[in-house]
Structure 1
């Protein structure tokens, strides 16, 4: 919590690994359990993210990227995460998601991609689960829930339209992270996600594992 006690301001000298991480990072020394928890979480993320193309992975990927977007606003905290997070794999997953969209995803604007005009807000099941958590305080608008007409016993219902909603959320979150230029990147000409130079030489696990639905030794 010490590492996220102060938000990075525009023009902040606090940068990613390799840059001066400031007093906040020096004071926020993780306890002995943190590396174990981080490694466990990253291993799970990699396993799930490698199944890009499987719609069942979208709720998990959505919640994880929401967390990473929140953490990206605290560079001192990100120094404890960025070298273990699979940026190349995430860029590949986002590109696959973008290519699979049969609609124009709202990802250019910083405005949360909520309900379309005149539509009643319909939070995703994981939105209700993430509600009021620290890392979603600047992600899910309060009116997103206040204006919703979803009954208590319907909050976990899955609708066919939620696949596209989750794809749009993933792309929107990816663009927000890419806007910093520190981890993910976005190319307006090629319309593709990439990674910042610092992470470009890391091993890309996607070269070993095919997308979901393709044959592999684990099929």
Structure 2
């Protein structure tokens, strides 16, 4: 999540501040781009801070590039500026999925889009890519209803079933907190799509039940009906 702020710099179109980076809209060699700049943290030892920002810049770039190789739509990266811990990437034109789900459109249309999201997340997880912040604020739908994933800043490569389960739980919680009235239908559609592309989907969903039960201090039996475990 990033907070939009005003800027007095006439050369800069807009800035957004996040917990770990600034997003700046700019023009780069004739392209409309987003510059994701990881700024130094004063509370860290300078050398450690630089190494950490370098590592996160490289890691996020790799995740975006590898996801794109799988056919999962992500921003195109034009340049990775390691010394300045900056990623220069395509500015995505579309609407945040969070806003789409609040529009007065048929629930079936919303379910179809969530089904596509499930398929794409399945591709990521099948190749051990964890998004890390899988919410409807980090998913964009363009005019052709294509799904695009943004902001892999908290992501990582991991084969751990629990990491994949946590990814899914983040999205489920987002459905419940932001789109409460249709959250059940949305999560069901997501799971159906996820099964299409994720070979061990059932194992991940079973782990999600355990993680959610643990976090909410509930018995697993109280949650299993919310998951498609008989697929």
**TM-score, L = length of structure 1:** 0.30
Which is bigger in relative contact order (C-alpha 8 A, separation at least 6)?
1
Greater percentage in strand: 2
Question: TM-score scaled by structure 2?
Answer: 0.29
